[in-house]
Amino acid sequence: MSSLIRTGIALDRELLEKFDRLIERKGYGSRSEAIRDLVRNHFVEEDVASDKVIVASLTLVYDHHQPRLSEQLIDAQHDYKGRVLATTHVHLDRRNCLEVIILKGRGTEVKRFADRLLSLRGVKHGRLVLTSPGPDSKS
Ligand code: NI
């Protein structure tokens, strides 16, 4: 682990009280841990906004009885070759499937790919989460 440096910050009393209530609700063990997460989130958001290579998970719920949909989903992933790291498929019931696709690429490319899949007929719900190791990345 990198060396830990202590620092002090001045905060308005009202803001600190609100922050303490928030970290209690979220279950943080200390203010330090909560502040570290806020700082990391900032860097991850910056990575995503600056269009660096990031990783993402795309969750889809779809109706596999929709004609050609399964084929279209597979074709799209083959077209996006090398940037689909893994796919997990769960048969939810007789009709519906859940798929989680793990992706790597520039933010704009990943979003374009996600929009292509989410807009297919028969895809009922989906969510894209973009993330990165943030400032802790060693590469
Ligand atoms: Ni299925």
40-59 residue pLDDT tens: 999 999 988 898 999 999 99
Q: Measure the CA–CA gap between 70 and 67, rounded to whole angstroms.
A: 8
Q: How far is CA 35 from CA 22, 38, 41, 53, 74, in A?
A: 12, 5, 10, 25, 41
Q: Which two tokens stand for residue 59?
A: 């969750």
User: Could you tell me the distance, in angstroms and rounded to a whole number, from the CA of residue 54 to the centre of ligand 1?
Assistant: 28
CA 70 to ligand 1 centroid distance, Å? 9
Tell me what pLDDT residue 1 has.
54
- 105's CB contacts (< 8 A; 6+ apart) are 53, 54, 56, 80, 83, 113
CA 83 to centroid of ligand 1, rounded, Å: 22
Q: From the centroid of its chain, how far is CA 1?
A: 25
pLDDT digits (tens, 9 = 90+) for 64-74: 999 999 999 99
pTM across the whole model: 0.83
Tens of pLDDT, residue by residue over 6-18, are 999 999 999 999 9
Amino acid 31 reads R
- Give pLDDT tens digits for 104-120: 999 999 999 999 999 99
Distance 66 CA to ligand 1 centre (A): 12
Structural domains in the chain, CATH included, are 13-49 (1.10.1220), 53-136 (3.30.70.1150)
Q: Which residues contact 85 (CB under 8 A, 6 or more apart)?
A: 55, 102, 103, 104
Average pLDDT over residues 115-138: 91
- The share of the chain scoring above pLDDT 70, in percent, equals 97
H/E run at residue 62: strand 53-63
Q: Where is average pLDDT lowest: 45-59, 90-104, 124-138?
A: 124-138
What phi and psi, each to the nearest 5 degrees, are found at residue 12? Answer: -60, 140
φ, ψ (nearest 5 deg) of residue 36? -60, -45
Q: Which residues surround ligand 1, an ion (CB under 5 A)?
A: 91, 97
